[in-house]
């Protein structure tokens, strides 16, 4: 007898009822929630543990207002590079030349502003144009000539380091005018007053918390609408409260130091823009599709060459932004600038949950990965740990992060 299959009665939650359902739907099983999203939840736990560890080992110095400000200023350019790097890794590529591009763009800006006397903004624009041109160069060879990105960018690392030496004529140039230095060393302080603290910084922190809460609730509603698992509403409120407390503590510390760093505003804008680009646009979905399954993406109509080309143009642009920030902070351009920056950016992306094989990763995850590296480096410096030991620790952390990604894939496939 032929069995008759009854059609499924499960349907997406009606749009009008989804917001109401968001208040009553979800699970309180923390273990299940963590295991279902082990890659992302793991890095947040790791960040909290590392911050707490160094706070204890340094007697609270690592959480002082001045030190938190220094972390933002010292590692902002690595975080900028990590944004572009994680997009490339999601798409199945990598860029080994970003450190050399940072040096080249800073050198071009220094020659124009310091040597030839052009206004500071001309140097910034020239650096951005050079970065985009470098990205287009890489994109052409990868996307249209079919040469693997590893080889193209390895050649670029040597090529653009050599051009940096030519542009600077093997000498360092400094100093930049005060306006240029404000890009990486400037602060917004006193815009709204405050007795012993900067009220504007606290306001920006409060706006960030509100934005996080609204975005989280909208994501929750969307997941419920399509019957995807979510945490219970009390757990959601608890998560928002914890994240909000962390953000406000961070803002409070900055407000009691020198105010809101301008470079932090630049970084926040980039994170917001690229977070939306990767999650809410056709281009972002195509990047994930290419990294996840290149053949399927091509068969589904994705213009693989075009997307690959613009991924590298974007990386060149962000490398130029990092070059401007680094040259502004160092108040000059040096032939050896940007050395090993590519490895820090790659490490940030992988520690932040990007998959070695592509198709997986987030901008926020790369930021968390970068912060883990920044907190570790800063904490070890405060403790007086020598540079060789710091390199050993960073290498082990990167290895563990990649091993964790491999473990996740095997666990998902049901193998050991």
Whether residue 156 sits in one domain with residue 242:
no
Whether residue 227 sits in one domain with residue 89:
no
Residue 217 pLDDT = 86
Tell me the percentage of the chain whose pLDDT exceeds 90: 43
User: Among 11-15, 73-77, 126-130, 276-280, where is mean pLDDT lowest?
Assistant: 11-15
CATH number of the CATH domain containing 298:
1.10.3470
Whether residue 240 sits in one domain with residue 363:
no
Digit-coded pLDDT (tens) for 357-370: 888 889 988 998 89
DSSP H helices in 93-119: 98-110
Domain C-terminal end among 205, 237, 260: 260
Domain C-terminal end among 233, 260, 287: 260
Whether residue 90 sits in one domain with residue 178:
yes
410: in domain? no
Residue 101 pLDDT = 96
CA–CA dist 350, 380 (Å, integer): 21
Whether residue 267 sits in one domain with residue 161:
yes
pLDDT tier at 396 (50, 70, 90 boundaries)?
Answer: confident
Whether residue 360 sits in one domain with residue 229:
no
Q: At what angle do helices 65-90 and 282-292 cross, to 10 degrees?
A: 70
Range among 251-265, 309-323, 380-394 rated most confident: 309-323
408: in domain? no
98: in domain? yes
Residue 51 pLDDT = 87
Q: Which domain holds residue 96?
A: 71-186+262-378+389-398
pLDDT, mean over the chain: 85
Residue 135 pLDDT = 96
Q: Which residue has the higher pLDDT, 235 or 111?
A: 111
Q: At what angle do helices 363-382 and 262-280 cross, to 10 degrees?
A: 150
Whether residue 359 sits in one domain with residue 268:
yes
141: in domain? yes
CA–CA dist 339, 321 (Å, integer): 16
pLDDT tier at 237 (50, 70, 90 boundaries)?
Answer: confident
Whether residue 288 sits in one domain with residue 155:
yes
Q: Report yes or no: 79 and 318 within 8 Å, Cβ to Cβ.
A: no
13: in domain? no
Number of Cβ within 10 Å of residue 60's Cβ equals: 11
Q: Report yes or no: 91 and 358 within 8 Å, Cβ to Cβ.
A: yes
CA–CA dist 40, 367 (Å, integer): 12
Give the mean model confidence (pLDDT) for residues 310-316. 96
Digit-coded pLDDT (tens) for 158-202: 999 999 999 999 999 989 999 999 998 888 877 676 666 778 888
- Burial label for 291, CB within 10 Å (0-12, 13-18, 19+), is buried
Whether residue 374 sits in one domain with residue 273:
yes
Number of domains in the chain: 2
DSSP H helices in 172-229: 178-185, 199-225
57: in domain? no
| pLDDT value at 87 more than 60 | yes
pLDDT tier at 83 (50, 70, 90 boundaries)?
Answer: very high
Digit-coded pLDDT (tens) for 112-122: 999 998 999 99
Tell me if residue 258 falls in helix, strand or coil. Answer: coil
Q: Could you tell me the CA-to-CA distances from 397 to 6, 57, 130, 166, 376 in Å, in that order?
A: 51, 19, 34, 36, 10
233: in domain? yes
Residues 6+ apart with CB under 8 A from 407: none
Range among 271-275, 314-318, 360-364 rated most confident: 314-318
29: in domain? no
Residue 5 pLDDT = 43
Residue 1 pLDDT = 43
Residues 6+ apart with CB under 8 A from 38: 408, 411
How open is the CA angle 363-268-88, to the nearest 5 degrees?
Answer: 30
Whether residue 286 sits in one domain with residue 152:
yes
CA–CA dist 319, 399 (Å, integer): 25
Domain C-terminal end among 260, 284, 302: 260
Tell me the percentage of the chain whose pLDDT exceeds 70: 86
End-to-end CA separation in angstroms for the chain:
41
Whether residue 275 sits in one domain with residue 175:
yes
Whether residue 393 sits in one domain with residue 283:
yes
């Amino acid at each position: 007898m032929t069995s008759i299959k009854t059609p499924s009665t499960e349907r997406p939650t009606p749009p009008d009822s989804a917001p109401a359902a968001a208040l009553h739907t979800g699970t309180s099983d923390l273990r299940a929630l963590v295991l279902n999203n082990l890659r992302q939840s793991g890095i947040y736990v790791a960040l909290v543990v590392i911050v707490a560890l160094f706070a204890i080992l340094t007697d609270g110095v690592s959480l002082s207002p001045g030190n938190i400000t220094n972390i933002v200023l010292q590692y902002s350019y690595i975080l900028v590079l990590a944004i572009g790097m994680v997009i490339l890794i999601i798409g199945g590529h990598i860029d080994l030349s970003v450190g050399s591009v940072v040096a080249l763009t800073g050198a071009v800006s220094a020659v124009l502003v310091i040597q030839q006397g052009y206004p500071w903004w001309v140097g910034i624009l020239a650096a951005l144009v050079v970065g985009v041109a470098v990205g287009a160069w890489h994109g052409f060879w990868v996307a249209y000539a079919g040469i693997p990105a590893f080889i193209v960018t390895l050649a670029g690392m040597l090529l653009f380091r050599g051009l940096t030496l030519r542009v600077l004529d093997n000498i360092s140039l400094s100093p930049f005018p005060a306006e240029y230095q404000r890009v990486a060393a400037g602060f917004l302080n006193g815009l709204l007053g405050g007795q012993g603290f900067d009220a504007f910084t606290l306001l920006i922190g409060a706006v960030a918390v509100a934005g996080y809460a609204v975005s989280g609730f909208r994501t929750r509603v969307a997941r419920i609408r399509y019957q995807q698992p979510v945490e219970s509403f009390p757990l959601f409120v608890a998560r928002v409260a914890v994240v909000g407390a962390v953000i406000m503590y961070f803002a409070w510390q900055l407000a009691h130091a020198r105010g809101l760093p301008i470079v932090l505003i630049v970084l926040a804008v980039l994170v917001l823009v690229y977070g939306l680009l990767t999650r809410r646009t056709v281009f972002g979905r195509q990047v994930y599709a290419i990294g996840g399954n290149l053949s399927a993406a091509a068969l589904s109509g994705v213009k693989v060459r075009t997307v690959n080309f613009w991924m590298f143009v974007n990386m060149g642009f962000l490398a130029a932004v990092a070059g401007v920030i680094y040259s502004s902070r160092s108040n000059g351009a040096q032939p050896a600038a940007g050395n090993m920056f590519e490895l820090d950016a790659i490490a940030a992306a992988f520690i932040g949950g990007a998959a070695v094989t592509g198709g997986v990763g987030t901008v926020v995850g790369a930021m968390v990965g970068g912060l883990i590296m920044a907190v570790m480096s800063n904490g070890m410096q405060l403790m007086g740990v020598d540079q060789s030991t710091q390199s050993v620790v960073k290498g082990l952390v990167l290895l563990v992060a990649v091993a964790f990604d491999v473990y996740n894939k095997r666990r998902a496939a049901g193998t050991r």
